Each structure stands twice: as structure tokens, then as C-alpha cells.
Amino acid sequence: MEERYELIEQFQQYMENPLLWPILEVLRKQSSGWKVHTLSAHLSELGFMPVLDEKPEKDLFKRNFLIMNALYQLQETLYPDHWLQVQAMDIILMSTHQSMGHEVDQQDPLRDYYIHWKNYDAEEGEVKRLLNEFWTRYKEFVGSTNGNDMDRSKALSLFELPLDATQTEIRKTWRKLALKWHPDRECGDSEQFRVLCEAWHVLRHEVHA
């Protein structure tokens, strides 16, 4: 039982929410004025948010959960260079200057609820399937190919990591590189970002296994 609990905790720790990157793009273009429901509607218009449940009330809950989960993951990813204010009715991406004095509150009960996938109200397999579908959709959005020429060795080389890199190292490096080369950044590069997406697509299956 304890071993099963540890596996679930590991699953929750490494399952990256693919909405993190579309949300970052949206916030880069408009840093304030967002609420969870307006962000959800905009992501739906962009093709990133399909119907998640046949029951309207469950569909709304799951949409809200996915967005809040992604926002909290993004908050931690951007910190301390930027601060993302995560409030359901007031989502703001702050500049470096504005972010002074803010820090990630690991004891925040709301954050603790939304960061754990067990609260999504679905089996582990369903969550994995959902996130795989979301990630595939995002790969297509950034123009990625099927990645047939990308293997684990090449992917790790692009990440400048050794063959025995840990799950934590792989995930942290992916986020660091994705932030550096994201097309919406001043010095970003859409082609480099696309290639990194291909590499992460190969490595993420290993990380999430």
C-alpha cells in the first residue's frame, strides 16, 4: 500500500500539464485581465480545451482544475524571474520589477489542492491519456513533426544531459530550455523550440512512465 502511494506521488510530481505553455503564450500577449472562465474560453477558441466530460457540471470542474493546475505549475516555473498571480478572478503575469516580494507559498491549501492530480476526479490512466492528447495537440500547434528521427540519446544531447540523467534533471532542463527558446520571448526561436518539443516528447514518456 505504501509503495502504491509512493508511485502515485511520483506520478503527480512528474505529470506536466501541457496547458502550461499555451497559457504562457496567452499571458505574454495580455498579462492581466484574465479570470479562469475567460482563460478557459480563450483556450477553447485556440483549440486547446475540448469537452472533458459529458456532464456540464463535471466538465466545468475539470476545465477549472486543469487551468488552475497549469497556473500553479507555471507560477513555480517562472519564479523568481517573474511572478504569476494565481487567483481565480484575477490572473496576472508580473514583470521582474513587480515580482519583488512575492514567493511560492508551499503551504497554500488552494495550491496544494490543485497541484495534486488525484483531485481531478479521474483514474490515473484517464489523466495520462488526457495529458497525452493535450500534448499531441500542442505539438501540432507549434508545427512539430512525428519526430521519427528523434531518439533518447539525441534528445538528451539536445538537453545537454548525460545518458543517466534523472527524471528531475530532465524535467527541470526541459522547462528551463522551453522558457529560454519560447517564441514569445524576446530572444526566443520558434524552430529551436519546436526541436526541443520533439526531444521532450520522447523523454516525457520515460519521465511519466
**Which CATH number covers residue 164?**
1.10.287.110
pLDDT tens-place string over residues 57-82: 999 999 999 999 999 999 998 998 88
Task: Answer yes or no: do 102 and 162 share one domain.
Answer: no
> What kind and span of H or E run contains 92?
strand 92-94
Residue 201 pLDDT > 60, yes or no?
Answer: yes
Task: Answer yes or no: do 112 and 187 share one domain.
Answer: no
Task: Answer yes or no: do 169 and 134 share one domain.
Answer: no
Task: Answer yes or no: do 78 and 164 share one domain.
Answer: no
Q: What is the pLDDT of residue 145?
A: 62
- What is the pLDDT confidence band of residue 104, given thresholds at 50, 70 and 90? very high
Q: Collapsing DSSP states into helix, strand and coil, what is residue 141? A: helix
Residue 127 pLDDT > 90, yes or no?
Answer: no
Instruction: Calculate the average pLDDT of the chain.
Output: 86
Task: Answer yes or no: do 5 and 73 share one domain.
Answer: yes
Task: Answer yes or no: do 22 and 117 share one domain.
Answer: yes
Structural domain containing residue 47: 1-142
**Under a CB-based contact definition with an 8 Å cutoff, are residues 49 and 26 in contact?**
no
More confident residue, 137 or 157: 157
Task: Answer yes or no: do 158 and 138 share one domain.
Answer: no
Task: Answer yes or no: do 132 and 192 share one domain.
Answer: no
Provide the 10 A C-beta neighbour count for residue 95: 11
What is the mean predicted confidence (pLDDT) over 111-122?
90
pLDDT tens-place string over residues 154-178: 999 999 999 999 988 998 899 999 9
Task: Answer yes or no: do 130 and 202 share one domain.
Answer: no
Among the listed residues 147, 194, 201, the one whose alpha carbon sits nearest the alpha carbon of residue 18: 201
Task: Answer yes or no: do 125 and 162 share one domain.
Answer: no
Last residue of a domain, one of 108, 142, 176: 142
Predicted TM-score (pTM) above 0.75: yes
- For the chain, the helix, strand and coil percentages under 3-state DSSP, each to the nearest 5: 60, 5, 35
Task: Answer yes or no: do 86 and 128 share one domain.
Answer: yes
Task: Answer yes or no: do 100 and 169 share one domain.
Answer: no
More confident residue, 144 or 173: 173
Last residue of a domain, one of 142, 176, 194: 142
Provide φ and ψ at 168, rounded to 5°: -65, -45
Last residue of a domain, one of 142, 161, 180: 142
- How many domains does the structure of the chain reveal? 2
